[in-house]
Structure 1
Amino acid sequence: MNSYYYAYSPNLYRYLKSLGFRYICTGLNESTMRQFWQYERTPELSAALTSYAENKPSK
């Protein structure tokens, strides 16, 4: 399992920030030029990602 999680969604970034998560670094994907935020994968982060996925509005 990868020990890092890369968030490409600004909405997800803001959600994680509101919960107190701090990213390790941010950058641009070389292929897409989209910004990403890198987080250490922890049980707490996994729980937050699950909660986000269950509660985000559908398109």
Structure 2
Amino acid sequence: MKVEQNFFFCYNSKLMAHLKRNGFSYICSALHEKSGNKFWLFQRSEELQAVIDAN
């Protein structure tokens, strides 16, 4: 099973804040190894995807 199927890598700080306001917690935050961009890692779920799609 691919990691992308289980996790959502969020590279947008406004989207991350929106997800947190809607009750989701990220697993960790880190910097992408090659780009140096910060991301927040969320457990993927239907509820999370619904909030992302509605944004």
Q: TM exceeds 0.5?
A: yes
| Structure 2: gaps of 5 or more residues | none
Q: Give how far 1:37 is off.
A: 0.4
The count of corresponding residues between Structure 1 and Structure 2 is: 52
Q: Give how far 1:31 is off.
A: 1.0
2:24 is equivalent to residue 21 of structure 1: yes
After TM superposition, the score normalised by the length of structure 1 is: 0.83
Q: Give how far 1:20 is off.
A: 1.0
After TM superposition, the score normalised by the length of structure 2 is: 0.88
What is the alpha-carbon root mean square deviation over aligned residues?
A: 1.0
Q: Give how far 1:42 is off.
A: 0.5
Q: Percent same amino acid at aligned positions?
A: 33
Q: Which has the larger radius of gyration?
A: 1
| Structure 1: gaps of 5 or more residues | 53-59
5 Å-filtered alignment, 1:1-59, equals: 2-52=5-55
Structure 1 moving runs of 4+ over 6 Å: none
**Amino acid paired to 2:46:** P
